[in-house]
């Protein structure tokens, strides 16, 4: 696994957004089992994950972001990274939990996370894996990646925290020491996340667009705009409605764009790219531009370093030139 720089786009794409498509409107209440942001009592912030017990952590990720460190005793960078991960996890004061996985003893998890080297670090948000980075990174970059993971978790409604049970034999994180304060979100980012939490996707889009207008290099705003635009397009529509419309009108561009959105939201990234790239040569200039713009948006959602994006980008380039 090549080392990925810790930029926001690496945190997107693996997460299934379909659960957010038909979120209840304000006042209607959250669906049963949804994360409410309330503390969850746990024996620790640090766990050992195995092929046998890992479903417990997938369930936990519906409430609290889970960071998974895939390590091996023979990997020299592991010791350095372990110290950094422990410190950052403790400083976050229960906003994440850390799960260590021995790659030699847990081949199913290695395959599930597609870990080709150790150490490798991934996240789980709302039951879906999120590739973070491989190898040892400086502590400040690890903190940046974790901050971005928390932002992504908030966008997906995963806002719980862990309250460590001191009676279980571990001092609660931060007891006796003030945890390092988390830097506040930029105001427009905070405005966007609040809007998403309310189900106000147009409001979030406006906030992100304003942030980009103020700083065209704001990659988190660019990726956030792509993601919330996808949610806005799918909001209020059912899976059957979208798929039936696409099947009955294979030449209708809007219908095909909608089903590609649905594929991407459910994690079927290759299907979404293939649908639009196969349609591209049949379209007029206006239609080709619409597809190109949508695919570029998908690149931001999935992550520009993702192999599926690299492949789709090459295919799009061959169609354009």
- 8-168 topology per CATH: Glutaredoxin (3.40.30)
Which helix or strand (DSSP H or E) is residue 57 part of?
Answer: helix 54-60
Closest CA to 101 of 133, 128, 78, 76: 78
Is the backbone peptide bond immediately before 119 cis, with ω within 30 degrees of 0?
yes
The domain 187-320 having CATH identifier 1.25.40: the answer here is yes
Q: What is the mean pLDDT of each run of 10 residues along the chain (321 residues)?
A: 30 34 36 53 90 86 92 67 90 93 82 78 89 85 90 87 64 44 77 84 93 90 89 85 90 92 84 94 94 93 84 92 78
CA distances from 31 to 24, 158, 160 (A): 8, 13, 16
Q: Where are the beta strands (DSSP E) in 58-117?
A: 66-71, 97-102
Instruction: Check residue 119 and give its pLDDT.
Output: 85
Residues 6+ positions from 278 with CB-CB distance below 8 Å: none
CA 110/CA 102 separation, integer angstroms? 9
Residues 6+ positions from 204 with CB-CB distance below 8 Å: 191, 192, 193, 195, 196, 224, 228
CA 107/CA 101 separation, integer angstroms? 10
Bin 133: left if φ > 0, else alpha if -120 < ψ < 50, else beta.
beta
Same fold, 8-168 and 187-320: no
Domain boundaries of the chain, sorted by first residue: 8-168, 187-320
How remote is the C-alpha of 65 from its chain's centroid? 10
- Tokens 């705009």 map to which residue? 225
Instruction: Check residue 260 and give its pLDDT.
Output: 93
Instruction: Check residue 146 and give its pLDDT.
Output: 92
- Burial class of residue 61, CB neighbours in 10 A (0-12, 13-18, 19+): buried
- Residue 310, φ and ψ in degrees, nearest 5: -60, -45
Give 150-168 as a 3 state SS string.
Answer: HHHHHHCCCCCEEEECHHH
Instruction: Check residue 106 and give its pLDDT.
Output: 81
Instruction: Check residue 290 and give its pLDDT.
Output: 95
Between β-strands 97-102 and 46-49, what pairing exists: parallel, antiparallel or unpaired?
parallel
């Amino acid at each position: 696994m090549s080392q990925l720089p810790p930029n926001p786009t690496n945190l997107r794409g693996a997460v299934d957004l379909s659960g957010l498509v038909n979120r209840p409107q304000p006042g209607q209440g959250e669906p049963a089992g949804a994360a409410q942001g309330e503390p969850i009592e746990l024996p620790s912030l640090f766990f050992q994950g195995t092929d046998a017990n890992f479903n417990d952590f997938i369930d936990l990720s519906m409430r609290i972001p889970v960071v998974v460190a895939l390590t091996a005793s023979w990997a020299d960078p592991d010791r350095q990274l372990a110290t950094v991960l422990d410190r950052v996890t403790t400083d976050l004061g229960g906003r994440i939990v850390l799960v260590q996985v021995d790659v030699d003893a847990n081949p199913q998890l290695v395959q599930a996370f597609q870990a080709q080297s150790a150490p490798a670090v991934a996240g789980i948000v709302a039951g879906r894996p999120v590739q973070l980075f491989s190898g040892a990174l400086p502590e400040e970059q690890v903190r940046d990646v974790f901050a971005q993971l928390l932002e992504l978790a908030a966008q997906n409604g995963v806002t719980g925290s862990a309250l460590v049970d001191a009676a279980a034999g571990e001092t609660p994180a931060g007891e006796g020491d003030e945890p390092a304060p988390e830097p506040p979100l930029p105001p427009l980012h905070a405005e966007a996340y609040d809007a998403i939490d309310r189900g106000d996707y147009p409001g979030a889009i406006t906030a992100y667009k304003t942030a980009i207008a103020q700083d065209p290099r704001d990659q988190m705003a660019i990726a956030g705009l792509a993601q919330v635009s996808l949610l806005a397009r799918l909001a209020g529509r059912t899976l059957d409605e979208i798929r039936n419309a696409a099947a009955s009108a294979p030449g209708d561009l809007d219908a095909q764009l909608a089903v590609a959105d649905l594929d991407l939201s459910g994690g079927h990234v290759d299907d979404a790219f293939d649908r639009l790239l196969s349609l591209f040569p049949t379209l007029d200039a206006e239609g080709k531009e619409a597809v190109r713009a949508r695919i570029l948006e998908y690149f931001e959602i999935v992550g520009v370093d993702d192999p599926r994006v690299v492949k789709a980008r090459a295919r799009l380039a061959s169609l354009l030139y």
